[in-house]
Structure 1
Amino acid sequence: MKKFSNYLVVALVALMATSIQAQKINFDRDLDNFRYPDQRGINVFESPKDTTSTFDGVNVRVGGAFALQFQAISNENANLAGYEIKSAGDNFNLATANMDLDVELYDGLRLHLRTYLSSRHHNEPYVKGGYLLIDKLDFVSEGFLEEFMQYTTIKVGHMENNYGDAHFRRSDNAQALYNPFVGNLIMDAFTTEVGAEVYYRREGFIGMLGFTNGKLNQSVEENAKGKTGGASFLAKLGYDKQINNDLRLRLTGSLYNTGYVPNSYLYSADRAGARYYGLMQGAAASGDDFRASRYDPALANKITAVMINPFVKYGGLEFFGTIEMAKGKAAAEAEERTVNQYAGELIYRFGNNENIYVGGRYNLVDAEDISGEDVTIDRIQFAAGWFMTKNILVKAEYVIQNYNDFGANSILNEGKFDGAMLEAVISF
């Protein structure tokens, strides 16, 4: 998408020109059913459902995010001949940037589009994805299925799929303000596929069903079986309730399943790259392995993944957990393999409007590796952060990650990295 910037400008100008002719354009920063990209979006999961409408003509909200880290992390391994790793020193990482367009097109009809302007894996702007969010069907006719849509949301696009709750707290390239830590989970479930999701939310109950075409990179080319791809099924069931002024409880279970796809990217789709730069990479390798420091179980063609996420917030103290099991295989494998991930994070927020926090996270992956070995990876993170304003966050993290039971023919044999990160995030 090297020419995307030009296309974006043309599309935006065309949108504005058409709208000016049709009706008044507003540029309010507040939108209906919207997760704000600043401190107000902390601990918000799915976009809220509120049938109260403020629509008064097409409203274009242009937003963005910027993130910069200073990294002081060292890495090591067994240092066997042919498996030496690159040394990592102390310096700044590449600054990353996002641009967001959120457009109220009609009462209950909103568009979202995110573009990575600068990311670790791409040196040119490219579209992460976008979707149409439908909270009302008044564009069909006023009041159409009004009682049904009072509790229903429809989401359609080439978009970040809603598998699990952890992806709502992860750093998405430059949008790192929701993440109390610097790094995401070791097994980072995140993908963008073409599909649709239907939500039903009522009195704290959450239900979602979704289908996608199972493809990150879209193509109509047929494979050896005469197919252009497969399909993926998503589901989420849960409960989210503010019990009283101090206590909020949320518990969800999610499913992602595909019987066959040419290439599953559930744990490798983030083209923005891992937040820890230049670690656990072979000394002889050229370029940057942007996925290094994360773990992809390589369940490439068939996968069933289940994630359970409890969230409890009492006053300023919050706990978020992840229990995940993924099972599947690559097409060439005879037997399916199983990978488990566990994570727990405890955060305490205090100060004026909870603008300061401290916390820790423990993360463990236990996997039947594609190499045939049973391996584990564990990580401990300690973090502190300060919201200078609702749009500016500075945070610090100390991380220790260990690779256990990887064989002598792996770059990760007796692998380890540890050190500190400083990150500044601006999001608006």
Structure 2
Amino acid sequence: MRTLGKLLVIVFVVVMSAQVQAQQINFDRNIDNFRYPDKRGVNVFESPKDTTSTFDGVDVRVGGSFALQFQAIENENAGLPGYQLKEAGSNFNLATANMDLDVALYDGVRMHLRTYLSSRHHHEPYVKGGYLLIDKLDFVSEGFLSDFMQYTTIKVGHMENNYGDAHFRRSDNAQALYNPFIGNLIMDAFTTEVGAEVYYRRDGFIGMVGFTNGKLNQNVEEDITGKTGGASFLAKLGYDKQVNDDLRLRLTGSLYNTGYVPSSYLYNADRAGARYYGVMQALDADSDDFRAGRYNPNLTNSITAVMINPFVKYGGLEFFGTVEMAKGKASAETDDRTTMQYAGELIYRFGADENIYVGGRYNLVDAEDISGEDVTINRAQIAAGWFMTRNILLKAEYVIQNYDDFGQNSILNDGKFNGAMVEAVISF
């Protein structure tokens, strides 16, 4: 893996050098049906569908992102013997970096590949995932199913699942420019699986169905049931319309369902790690719990999750909401457990080209924990940000997170963390 990482860095430097030389003649880094990694990509969800083609041969776009935070967060819990916390102080976190390759391969065919060059959990580079995006089938024959493909997109790969809309606004390792806050949701639905998704978009309506093999870590080994894996079904239905110059409305409902998989990672797959470093860590722990600050309901073998997301933007004021239900169990359990998550964020953007914003988010998780307890976690965040340029974002956040009803045998018993963070993000 480290050899691969070094090779990727060398490739990045060589390709970037060649691209910089080419851009001395023509600084045009746009490709078709592309969500920009800069400020133009804010409040963009699925990659846009535009039948206008600019394809003129294979075109490689090399991009990347970089994020660095200064953290001043304190944590506490009941402090019972055997469950004391490490002290969290104030300093800089590990700088994170991504490298993106987006390649126009053919008219209406694009590839995306993201590599984490540095992340909290893996300091060495490794591939997050990639996919092939097909908006035309002209590679079969010119104009093949053109009436159908005018509204259809096919996505295939080992890729981030399109479950819900919250994952379009979350920080993805160093790509933190789309997120107006610093932390992601408490119950962070994010996973990468091998599969395919088919989209149909027309007159503002959005429909998507997808299937994956339900596995984060790919292998062909059989489990104790004699299976090498399972299958997950995804679906999304919604409406997204720019009603007029001031008002945009979007409402989607999403489904993720698997009858059985050896291990479901829907709420536990982000190997880049949570944004709040060093919080709620056991004093005697030998290693960093890189997912601390989040909550995983541990529905590890069967799960049905539903997420509803409203988005309203009027002028500079925007609201984004999340209502989520996850139900399922681990294989050793006989009864299903249910976890509910609610989140609402209100953002006001102002200034030249809405380059400054302030906002707040409240996030609540109410869960039947695998321990058998009914537990609650709530978080309040207040944030402000400044797009210094469309590629550079400076943001600050104050966060308070409380853990309620966790038992005496939990490190989260009467747990709490609070404090401030500042994050600088560069994305291009």
Query: What range describes the TM-score normalised by the shorter chain of this pair?
Result: over 0.9
In structure 2, the gaps of 5 or more residues are 17-25
Check 1:37–1:14 CA distance in 2 against 1; reply closer, same or farther (3 A cut).
Answer: closer
Deviation at 1:15, TM superposition (A): 10
Counterpart residue type for residue 76 of structure 2: E
* Contact 1:317–1:347 under 8 Å retained in 2: yes
Deviations 1:82-131 (A, max 9, x none): 00010000000000000000000000000000000000000110000000
Match of 2:356 in 1: 356
State how far apart, in whole Å, the 2-side matches of 1:31 and 1:50 are.
11
Check 1:402–1:12 CA distance in 2 against 1; reply closer, same or farther (3 A cut).
Answer: closer
Residues 300-315 of structure 1: pairs in structure 2 closer than 5 A:
300-315=300-315
Counterpart residue type for residue 378 of structure 1: N
State how far apart, in whole Å, the 2-side matches of 1:406 and 1:225 are.
33
Match of 1:250 in 2: 250
Match of 1:60 in 2: 60
* Contact 1:27–1:59 under 8 Å retained in 2: no
Deviations 1:294-325 (A, max 9, x none): 00000000000000000000000000000000
* Contact 2:15–2:62 under 8 Å retained in 1: no
Check 1:355–1:12 CA distance in 2 against 1; reply closer, same or farther (3 A cut).
Answer: closer
State how far apart, in whole Å, the 1-side matches of 2:378 and 2:297 are.
15
Deviations 1:51-108 (A, max 9, x none): 0000011110000000000000000000000000100000000000000000000000
Match of 2:391 in 1: 391
Matched, 1:288 2:302: no
* Contact 2:113–2:130 under 8 Å retained in 1: yes
Counterpart residue type for residue 239 of structure 1: Y
Q: Cα RMSD over matched residues?
A: 1.6
State how far apart, in whole Å, the 2-side matches of 1:4 and 1:243 are.
48
Deviations 1:376-397 (A, max 9, x none): 0000000000000000000000
State how far apart, in whole Å, the 2-side matches of 1:141 and 1:9 are.
38
Check 1:9–1:415 CA distance in 2 against 1; reply closer, same or farther (3 A cut).
Answer: closer
256-265 vs 2-11, which moves further:
2-11
Counterpart residue type for residue 349 of structure 2: R
Give the number of equivalent residue pairs.
420
Residues 20-419 of structure 1: pairs in structure 2 closer than 5 A:
28-419=28-419
Deviation at 1:398, TM superposition (A): 0.2
What SS class does the counterpart of residue 342 from structure 2 fall into? strand
What SS class does the counterpart of residue 2 from structure 2 fall into? coil
Check 1:389–1:11 CA distance in 2 against 1; reply closer, same or farther (3 A cut).
Answer: closer
Counterpart residue type for residue 179 of structure 1: N
* Contact 2:240–2:248 under 8 Å retained in 1: yes
* Contact 2:5–2:117 under 8 Å retained in 1: no
State how far apart, in whole Å, the 2-side matches of 1:247 and 1:28 are.
31
Deviation at 1:28, TM superposition (A): 3.3
State how far apart, in whole Å, the 2-side matches of 1:12 and 1:142 are.
34
Check 1:414–1:13 CA distance in 2 against 1; reply closer, same or farther (3 A cut).
Answer: closer
What SS class does the counterpart of residue 3 from structure 1 fall into? helix
Deviation at 1:9, TM superposition (A): 6.8
State how far apart, in whole Å, the 1-side matches of 2:230 and 2:385 are.
42
Deviation at 1:6, TM superposition (A): 5.0
* Contact 1:130–1:159 under 8 Å retained in 2: yes
* Contact 1:158–1:194 under 8 Å retained in 2: yes
In structure 1, the gaps of 5 or more residues are 17-25
Deviation at 1:11, TM superposition (A): 7.7
What TM-score do you get using the length of structure 1 for normalisation?
A: 0.96
Deviation at 1:33, TM superposition (A): 0.4
